[in-house]
Amino acid sequence: MKLKLALLAAAGSVAMVSAASAQDQGYYGELGFGYTFSNDENDFEDTGSAVPYSFVTNYDLDESLNIYGAFGKYLQNGLRAELELTTRTQEIDELPGDGLGFVGFPGGGSIGDLTVNTLMVNVFKDFYNESRFTPYLGVGVGAAYIRPEASNSSIVPTPATGPGQPYLIVMGDKDFASAAQALAGVTIDLTNTVDVDLGYRYLVTDSFEYGAAINGPVTPIEAGYRAQELTAGLRWNFGAPAPVVEEPEEPPVTYKDCWDGSRVVSTASCPPEPEIVEDDVIPDDLDLVVYFDFDKSNLSVAAQDLIAAKASEAMEYDISGVTVQGNTDTSGSASYNNALSARRAAVVREALVANGISGGLITTQALGESNPAKPTADGVREPLNRRTEVLFDF
């Protein structure tokens, strides 16, 4: 019952808190030592065949050091699991009498030793935060190998006035018992791969049995073991996957409208505005460039107004011919770009004719991607190359 209560209490403690930040990954190994407190509350009783009386008492254990090692793996959500092996040996300082005929073995010297080796499977919850200190809670279950050793005698007083009577105890048996433990502590980061582990452990075993010769005959003994321990160890982390470097997202492409009705990317410059000549207009200044959106051949309202204005000015002169050249950027195949440039030339021709330019004077050319205003590599979307140029001859 005590073992079950210890497990339930420790498991409830782990479940109450959630992790705060990113956790370690991979595997780890740990070596350390601890301090086992003295304890006088471990059961020590016969199973009903002691001579001359049955007895129920506790053995008093001195403090001692323990040594442990562990191998574990980091899991998800701040959890980790490990296999832990610990050994500790405590001196049996006293076996008190129970007042029913067993006068016991008083303190003042070592009666013997009790060695407890445990092999435990532990599960921990690490509570990550922004500091180097990571608190944790854990529970463990496993097995304990228990070996009491004693060869001692004691002179105890008799009830009457007679001389003292020697009592003798000899133990050298062993047994296995199931075990459980609750753990708590803090991990301190030293480097990326080495941590310091400072912890507390409360260990409980089920009852175990062994034979002991007490004052002569061998008596079956039933006992239990509980221990409180402080531990300190070094942990080496290894086997973590390489960190994933996320590629930065490309910012969305934005456009701006230019004076001539074209749209270019926000980081590009618009074509320079033509200078307005108040007096004699030079016919060469009537040449115009109409820009298009990506993969488009339709005219914006601003482009239509520009064509109309240029056509009106050109008709003030004796026009001998008009050349309309359609162009594209290098995005897309060459054959597709030739067809797209032909459509762009055709739509500008239609707009010139609609604004009074004789269709017989107009020659169209589909140049595709062969005549870039801004040379680029193949497959590049360049707004300055998506255009139709109009050249007036006088």
How many residues does the structure list for the chain? 394
Write down the CATH number for the domain with range 2-238: 2.40.160.20
Q: Which residues contact 272 (CB under 8 A, 6 or more apart)?
A: none
Q: Superfamily assignment of 255-393 in CATH?
A: OmpA-like domain (3.30.1330.60)
pLDDT at 79: 94
pLDDT, tens digit, 9 for 90 and up, residues 52-75: 656 777 778 889 999 999 999 999
- Considering only 56-60, 255-259, 282-286, 361-365, which range has the smallest mean pLDDT? 282-286
Strands 362-366 and 321-326: parallel
Rg (CA), the chain: 47
pLDDT, tens digit, 9 for 90 and up, residues 3-35: 444 444 444 444 443 333 457 889 999 999 999
Angstrom distance (rounded) from CA 192 to CA 237? 8
Q: What are phi and psi of 359, to 5 degrees?
A: -65, -25
> What are the boundaries of each domain within the chain?
2-238, 255-393
Instruction: State the average pLDDT over residues 225-244.
Output: 89
- Considering only 27-31, 34-38, 151-155, 257-261, which range has the smallest mean pLDDT? 151-155
Higher pLDDT, 286 or 125: 125
Instruction: State the average pLDDT over residues 30-45.
Output: 87
Strands 208-214 and 175-189: unpaired
User: Percentage of residues in the chain with pLDDT exceeding 70?
Assistant: 82
Residue pair 179/142 in contact (Cβ under 8 Å)? The answer is yes
The whole-model pTM stands at 0.54
Angstrom distance (rounded) from CA 33 to CA 69? 9
Angstrom distance (rounded) from CA 374 to CA 371? 9
2-238 against 255-393: fold identical: no
> Quick check: 331 pLDDT over 50?
yes
Instruction: State the average pLDDT over residues 27-49.
Output: 85
User: Percentage of residues in the chain with pLDDT exceeding 90?
Assistant: 41
pLDDT at 187: 96
Give the ranges where 201-333 is alpha helix by DSSP (H).
301-314
> Quick check: 350 pLDDT over 90?
yes
Residue pair 123/15 in contact (Cβ under 8 Å)? The answer is no
Residue pair 264/329 in contact (Cβ under 8 Å)? The answer is no
Residue pair 28/72 in contact (Cβ under 8 Å)? The answer is yes
pLDDT at 160: 41
Higher pLDDT, 254 or 216: 254
The three-state secondary structure class of 187 is strand
pLDDT, tens digit, 9 for 90 and up, residues 266-322: 888 888 877 765 555 555 567 889 999 999 989 888 889 988 998 888 888 888 889
pLDDT at 35: 96
Give the ranges where the chain is alpha helix by DSSP (H).
2-15, 301-314, 334-354
| Banded pLDDT at 109 (limits 50, 70, 90) | low
pLDDT at 282: 53
Compute the mean pLDDT over every residue in the chain, rounded to the nearest whole number.
82
pLDDT, tens digit, 9 for 90 and up, residues 166-212: 566 777 778 899 999 999 999 999 998 999 999 999 999 998 887 77
Which tokens is 46 given? 């016969």
> Quick check: 165 pLDDT over 70?
no
